[in-house]
Amino acid sequence: MVSDEKIEGLGFSNVITFSPRKYSVQEIKNDPLRALYNLDLLFLDFVLFDDQIKQCERNGETWRIFGQDTEGVFGLSGQSGEVLYVARGFKDQIDIKFCARGLDDFVSLMNMFVSYIFRVRASFKGGHDKIEDNVSDYFLDYARKFLNEEELSNSYWAGICELIETGEWLVTRGLREYLETGRLQQAE
């Protein structure tokens, strides 16, 4: 679950945590959050229940934070209902990236993105199936069903796909584990 400290560190204030509640079967059936999965490989962590969403404010606007990765948080913007990604960017400035027009679209895009990651991992040693070179053919074409070209070009998805294509974002165990355990061989 996203910590209040992380949320406040990204410029949010007045963080509210809700009390646990009971859910009807109908509410569970219709809840898009239940289709999001925490995935250690990608450092994705989403709330399991909507009462775990953190409500907060940023620049006078109400937000609902429902997930995170190592760098930032995913939240619903109160005025627009859009899903946005907020993280610290270049020179420690707050960077806000568009993800989707709503939570249902975000869930579809995130699940397709996760499936893309597993396709890349499946082709890791194959050499004959260079999926990581084809992000636009697989994931971004799917994303165009939800986002227009302008939205997509400046989105969270375009940025993360570019990192994968350039090799800056590893889809195997990241370098972090090797650094933290002292297992990264230093260049000679």
Residues 23-64 have pLDDT tens digits of: 999 999 999 999 998 888 778 999 999 999 999 999 999 999
Q: How far is Cα 48 from Cα 38, in angstroms, rounded to an integer?
A: 9
Q: What pLDDT is recorded for position 87?
A: 94
* Average pLDDT value over all residues in the chain: 86
Over residues 121-168, the pLDDT tens digits come to 776 665 555 555 566 678 888 999 999 999 999 999 998 888 777 766
Q: What pLDDT is recorded for position 185?
A: 76
Of 115-119, 161-165, 172-176, the range with the lowest mean pLDDT is 172-176
Q: Average pLDDT in the 112-127 region?
A: 75
Q: Average pLDDT in the 77-88 region?
A: 93
Confidence check: pLDDT of 172 > 60: no
Q: What pLDDT is recorded for position 22?
A: 94
